[in-house]
Each structure stands twice: as C-alpha cells, then as structure tokens.
Amino acid sequence: MSEKNIDKLLGLTDSKYKLSVAIAKRALQLKSGVNPVVAPDQRAGIRNLITLAMRELATDKLQMGANLIDQVRLDKHLAQEKQRQAEELQRQQAGSYQMPEFDND
C-alpha cells in the first residue's frame, strides 16, 4: 500500500481484509463514475483508483460502511452503465456508417 496514512487506515478496522475489501469496493465505485469526495487538489497526480480510495478513507470524508453501496447494487449499476455505453457506441456507428461502393462492371 503506497498511501502515507496507512497506520490511520489500519486503525479504521480490526482486519486488514475488511480494509482491503472496503478500498476495493470504493475503487470500483470510482471506476464506475461515482464522484470522488476529496478535493481536486488532494487528488492531483493520483492516477490509481486504489490510492484515491485509500486517500478518501484517510481524510475522514468517507467512513467504512457508510456511503459504500452493496455489491448487488454496484453490479447492477455497472451493468446499466455498460449497456448505456454499448447503446451510445451503436448510435455513433449507425450515424457514421457508409455503404460500400460497388463497380458496375
């Protein structure tokens, strides 16, 4: 874990496993498009969603178990987002499709 506040994070729970699961769930939320709770200046230079999730937990703006959606709802949200993106791609492709030209030999 590269987060400099690792001791604070470990103090949030009685298990490294629980901490890892909470961080992974939050990273999935961030990946699906949920807005980060930390200020832009605090996340400047962070490209890794795991690190961003750790930073959020360390700032006390997000607590273990609070504001973390359960896995079923997260999976449903991700499936809906994937479907929306596929439909958007189809619309874009349909608008730019050109029929091939054939020679009349």
CA distance 24 to 64: 12
Is residue 11 very low, low, confident or very high in pLDDT (cuts 50, 70, 90)?
confident
pLDDT at 29: 85
Any idea how long the chain is? 105
- Average pLDDT score over the chain: 78
Q: What is the CA radius of gyration of the chain?
A: 20
CA distance 62 to 69: 12
Is residue 32 very low, low, confident or very high in pLDDT (cuts 50, 70, 90)?
confident
pLDDT at 103: 62
Q: Are 60 and 99 in contact (CB under 8 A)?
A: no
Residue 25 has pLDDT above 50, yes or no: yes
Residue 99 has pLDDT above 70, yes or no: no
pLDDT at 1: 43
> What sign does the dihedral 50-55-57-58 (CA atoms) show?
positive
SS3 per residue for 44-76: CCCCCHHHHHHHHHHCCCCCCCCCCCCHHHHHH
Q: What is the pLDDT of residues 36-57, one digit of tens each?
A: 888 888 878 888 999 898 888 8
Among the CATH numbers 3.90.79.10, 3.30.420.40, 3.40.720.10, 3.90.940.10, which is that of 6-69? 3.90.940.10
